[in-house]
A = this chain, B = another copy of it.
Amino acid sequence: MDDALKQHRDQIDAIDEQLLKLVNARAQHARDIGSLKGEGPIYRPEREAQVLRRLLALNQGPLSAEAVTAIFRGVMSNCRALEKQLSVAFLGPAGTYSEEAANKQFGGVSAPVLCNTIDDVFRMVESGKVDYGVVPVENSTEGAVGRTLDLLMSTQLRICGEVTLPIHHNLLTNTATREQVTTVYAHAQSLAQCHAWLNQHLPNAQRQAVSSNAEGARLAASEAGAAAIASRRAAELFTLNVLAESIEDDPKNTTRFLVLATHDVAPSGQDKTSLLLATRNIPGAIVDLLAPLALHGVSMSKLESRPSRNGLWEYVFFVDVEGHCQDAALASALQEIGQRASLVKVLGSYPLAVA
């Protein structure tokens, strides 16, 4: 073996020996913390977010931010597993983005429970059959996930975390060359998100909106001259070639998931709070309702109206604001909002998603 190679390998061996000692020492501390906590939750999203943020700030490479968070999520997951195997419910079947989100957040899920519906995920957590649930809440292709919002209205569960996954669109086809593509199938939103790319590279192909990108991929797999805009995963599932990667006009597309639990999360320093508000349907009422946020300097990152299901109010509003509900500014704003609104429900305060 080459001398230079041997030297590097010897140094890696020395590093690994130190790494091994350190991860075991870390695991022992995690264990000691577990016995201090007694019956409290093993999984502390606010603490894990703090650990990851700190490491990302310290990281000087060559490992990327994604590599650092992946490695440390794995370390934390294995330390946690010494105390308890967390069970996590999410939408199946295997291979969904929900599974990817759950694996990302928990650094691998040792006891996954794949559910058929979002309702089932809520029920599994509510009944205590699993420790956590992961549900999609905003899909960059199809917008807000209505069922999740509806279930959040009536559940007693708390949002204890959010996960974002980057979404890439790809041109999938079994056609040999781009010139032979005559039709492009995709969800209308995906077609729109790849508008510029399609104009430039496939100006003559017909764009055909279908119910989902998966349906588009299915069609592309069976029709000559057809292509689909969909995920890499869809290419695998329907055995299509990836003719062009990441063709979305805005490369910052993400899909967002919520982590559900039966308990609240302490502040992590960079948090978000999700609120459910209801008011009488008087034009301008919502503006009035939200005024205390501006007054107390609380930024709003999302406002989404949704028909109420219970007949008491016509509309409810899902509002995401910066900060934790224990923060003084947000707490004051919430108190004032509470005096004006028919309903204020804090769905949860949780750490902002870490890369």
Q: Which residues of A contact B (CB under 8 A)?
A: 2, 4-5, 8-9, 11-13, 15-20, 22-33, 36-37, 47, 51, 54-55, 58-64, 67-68, 70-72, 74-75, 78-79, 81-82, 92-95, 99, 108, 112-116, 233, 236-237, 239
Contact = CB atoms under 8 A, between A and B. Distances in A.
B16 A72 contact: yes
Contacts of A30: 8, 12
Given A15-B22, A29-B8, A63 B78 contact: yes
A78 B72 contact: no
Nearest to A51: B16
A94 B9 CA distance: 35
B36 A92 contact: no
A92 B12 contact: no
Given A8-B36, A12-B29, 15 more contacts: A8-B29, A8-B30, A8-B32, A11-B29, A15-B22, A17-B58, A19-B72, A22-B22, A27-B63, A67-B78, A67-B82, A71-B71, A71-B78, A93-B237, A114-B237
Nearest to A33: B8
Contact of A59 (B24, B113, B237): B24
CB-CB nearest 7 A-B residue pairs: A94-B95, A114-B236, A67-B78, A74-B74, A94-B94, A8-B29, A15-B26
A77 to B, nearest CB: 8
Contact of A68 (B5, B20, B37): B20
Main secondary structure of the interface of A (DSSP, over half): helix
B92 A67 contact: no
Given A22-B22, A78-B71, A93 B95 contact: yes
Contacts of A116: 239
A26 B16 contact: yes
24 contacts: A2-B36, A4-B36, A5-B33, A8-B32, A9-B47, A12-B26, A12-B29, A15-B25, A19-B19, A19-B22, A19-B23, A19-B72, A19-B75, A20-B58, A20-B59, A23-B63, A23-B68, A27-B63, A27-B67, A64-B82, A67-B81, A70-B78, A71-B75, A94-B94
Given A32-B8, A74-B74, A94-B233, A62 B24 contact: yes
A100 to B, nearest CB: 10
Contacts of A2: 36
Contact of A236 (B62, B74, B92): B92
Contacts of A72: 16, 19-20
Question: Which residue of A5, A11, A62 has the most chain B CB atoms within 10 A of its CB atom?
Answer: A62
Contacts of A78: 63, 67, 70-71
B36 A63 contact: no
B22 A71 contact: no
Contacts of A19: 19, 22-23, 26, 72, 75
Contacts of A33: 5, 8-9
A16 B24 CA distance: 12
A70 B22 CA distance: 15
Contacts of A58: 17, 20
Nearest to A81: B67
A62 B113 contact: no
